[in-house]
Structure 1
Amino acid sequence: MSLFQGSINKFIELVKNDNKKIICYGVGKMLDNFIYKSSLLESIECLIDSDINKIGKKIKILDKEFCINDINILENYDSKNFLILITSGYYNEIIEKIYKSFSDKSFIVAVYPIINITYDNSEEFFKNRVLDECINEYRSLLKINGLDFIEIEKKIDEKSKYIIGDSDYRPLVIPRIMIMPTTKCNFTCIGCSSLLPLFDNPQDVDINQIIKDFDIFFSAIDECIRITIGGEPFLYKDLDKILEYLISQDKVLGILMITNSTIVPKNNVIELLKYNKIYIEISDYGHLEKMSKLVSLFEKENIKFEVLTQQYWTDMGNTQKRNRSLEELRFSYLNCEQSRLIKGFHDGYFYTCARSARLKSLGIYDAKEDSFKFSDYSVSEIRKKIQEMYYEKDIAISCDYCDLGTLPNKIIDAGIQKKENMKKSEYTIVKRSEYEKLKINSKLKE
C-alpha cells in the first residue's frame, strides 16, 4: 500500500490518464463533495463503509446506484486497476485497517480531506480558494434573485473572466467577509461559533469606526461578492446606518444577515431590508411563536428570506490552547470553511476569521499573526495584505484554539441554550409548498 501525494487535480489526472477505477471508503458528506468537485462519478466502482448499519444497503448518487460493502470486498479487486479513495474524517483509522488487512496488496490510497487541501501551485490555490468560492457565492445570489439557468450561466461566465483578469491585471475580488458590529446576543447558545456567551460585558462597535473600516476596505479591493453581518444583527442600534452604507456601495453585490428569529427589527430597518441586495436567513431554534411573527412580517413586507430548520453545528470546542504542530495547524486552516469565507474586520482590525476576532476581544490570544490594523498601513499596503490573506495564507494560530477544521468533526444540535429562558416549541415552520409535497408523499406511502 502506498499513499497518494498530490492535489485533487493530480488525482483526477491519474484516474483519467491511467484509466483507473475508484473504490470509495466512506459514504458521508465528503463523498458528495468529492463527486461535486471531481466529476468522477462514472469512475467509482464500489463503496465501502465501516458502519454496520449502512453495510448491505443501497444508495443512489445522482443517477447511479451503489450497494455499500464492508472492507472485505477489497479481496475481489486488483490493485493494478483500482485506487482506494478515503472519503471520511476517520482516515487515519481506515488507513491502518487497510494496511493490516491487505498488506499483501499494493493499492494506491488517496485521502480526500488531504488531496482537497493540497495545491500544486499558486494558481491552483487561487482557483480553489478564491475563484471557486467567489463563483459559489455569486451563483447563490443569482438564484436568490430568481434568474433562470441560462441567465445564471451567462453571468457566471462573465464573472469568472472578470475575477481571473488577464496577464496585465487581476482584480482583487473577495468571496465573502463578515463584519461583527456587536457582541450582544439575547441567546446563550452552547457551541456558539462567535463565543458570544463568554462576553461578560458585551459591547457595540461604534458606528463611526465601522464606516471608517468600510471606507478603507472598499478603497483597497475591487469587489466583494457578499458581506455577512454577524452576531445577532437586529440588536445593533445603528444597523440602519450599516445597511444604508452597504446598499449604496457598488463594490458589494449581496448582504447576508442571520438572525435567531426572536428579534423584530425596527421600522426603519424593515424598510431597508426590502432592498434587492439583502437576504435573511432565519434560524429555527424552536421558538415558534416569536419566529412566526418574524416570518409573517417578512412575507407581508416582501423581504427575501428563508427559514433554516433542523440545523446542526460543527462543535468548535472550548477556547483552550491545543498545542498543535505546524502541520496540524496548516491542515486545520486549509480544511476550515471560515478560512475561506469568514474573514472580516472588527473594531479597526482585519482578521483571518471571526473566531480569531472574538478570541482577541476576550483576551485569549494576541492574534498578531492572524490580523492587521487598518490604521497602520496605506491603502496600497492594505490591498496587498488582504490579497496575501486570501491568495497565500495557509496557516493560522487561531486554529490552535478551535476544532472546526479538524477531523473527524463533532456534530451538535444548533441553538441549545445554556440558560433556557424562552419557551421552546416542539413544532417548526414548514413552507406551504413543502408541506403540500409532504402530504402527497404521505398519501403515496399509505
Structure 2
Amino acid sequence: MFKKMTLVAAACSALVSMHAGAQVTDNVVKIGVLTDMAGVTADITGKGSLIAAQMAVQEFGGTVLGKPIQVISGDHQHKNDLGASIARQWYDTDKVDVIVDVPNSAIALAVQGIAKQSKKLVLFSGAGTTALTNEQCSPYGFHWTYDTYGLAHGTASAVVKAGGKSWFMLASDYAFGAQLAKDTSEVVVAEGGKVLGSLKHPLNLADFSSLLLQAQSSGANVIGIANAGNDTINAIKQAGEFGITQKGQSLAAMIFMVNDVHSLGLQAAQGTYLTTASYWDMNAKTRAWSKTFMEKHGAMPSMIQAGVYGSVLHYLKAVKAAGTDDADKVAAAMRAMPINDAFTENARIREDGRVLREMYLAKVKTPAASKYAWDYFEIVRKIPAADSVMPLSLSKCPLVAKK
C-alpha cells in the first residue's frame, strides 16, 4: 500500500512539474536589459545594470518553474529609433518576456508603447519621466526606482527651506531633463521661491561655460542642474572651475548618484543635497549585496542598478507565484505581492504601475567626514512614499480613471 501511494504521489508530482513547465513559453524565461553601455549614463546604468540583473537571477536560483532564466543586453546609445528597434526585435522575434532598465525617458516612452502593443512587460529603473505612470501609463509598464516628481520634491524642497529661494535651471534637452526642470520649478514656487530663468543643453555636452556664465549672471541663489550622468559631472566640475560656489551661489543636482560623486571627488561634490532611492551603506543587507556587486563590477551600485536588481527579482517571484510567464498573470501577481529585496522593504505597486517606496534625502559628505572608500552620503532623513510619489488625485492615467 505504501509503495502504491508513493508511486501515485510521484506521478502527481511529475504531472504538476510538467504542467508548470508548460506554462513557460519557449521553455525559457528571457530578460532583456536595454541600457546605455558606453554613453553619458553608462556609469550609473550600463554594464552595472546587466550585472545587477544577473545577480537577481543568481539569488533566485537560476531557474523558475523548472525552466532556465536567460539575461541578454542591448545598447540603445540614446537613440530613439535604435531603442525602439531593439525592443521590437526582442519582443516579437527573440521572445523576450520582460525588458528592464531603459535609461532615457524618450526611449522609455517609445518602449512602453511597444510593450503595450506586444502585451509584454517592461520595468523601468533608469528612466525618470512621470509620463510613464501618468498620461502614457500602461498595464504592462512598471516604474520602479524613481521619477522626476520624487527627485524634485525631495531635493528642491529641502534646498528652498534651507534658504535657497531664487533658482536658475540648467536642463538636458530631452524628455527627462524637461520634466525634471518643470517639476523642480513647480516645487520651488510652491515653497515660496522663484525661478529666474532656465536654459536647455544637448545630451552629452562637453562645454557648459556659456550656460554657467548666464546662470551666474542671473544672480540666483541656486543653480539647479537637471541632467544626468556625465552631464551632471561636467556641469558641477566646470562650475567649480569658474568659482561659482566660492562666489556665493549654490548648486543643486536634481539627480546625483554615488558614482557621480566618485568621479567628481568629495572636494568638488561636498555639501550637495540629493534624493536617492537607495544607498549601498544603509545597513548590513545593502552592504553585503553591494560588496558582491563591487567584486563583479569594480564600483558600488547606483540607485538605478540597485533598482534593476530589485525589479528582476520581484518579476521572477511573480512568475513563480503566477505559475506562468504570461504577461497579464505575472503583472497581476507583481501588483499583489509586496516588494522585498536587499534595498527595499514592503514596497507596493500602485494601479498606475508606480512603485510606492521610501526615498532618502542625502547630503554629500566633506572629505574630512568620509571614513572609508565610497563613504560619500550622509542620510539626512527618510522621505515617505506619500511625499515622493505624485498623488493619484493629480493622475491622468487611464488605469486610475477607469477605477
Asked which structure has the greater RCO (Cα within 8 Å, sep 6+), the reply is: 2
Q: TM-score, normalised by structure 2?
A: 0.27
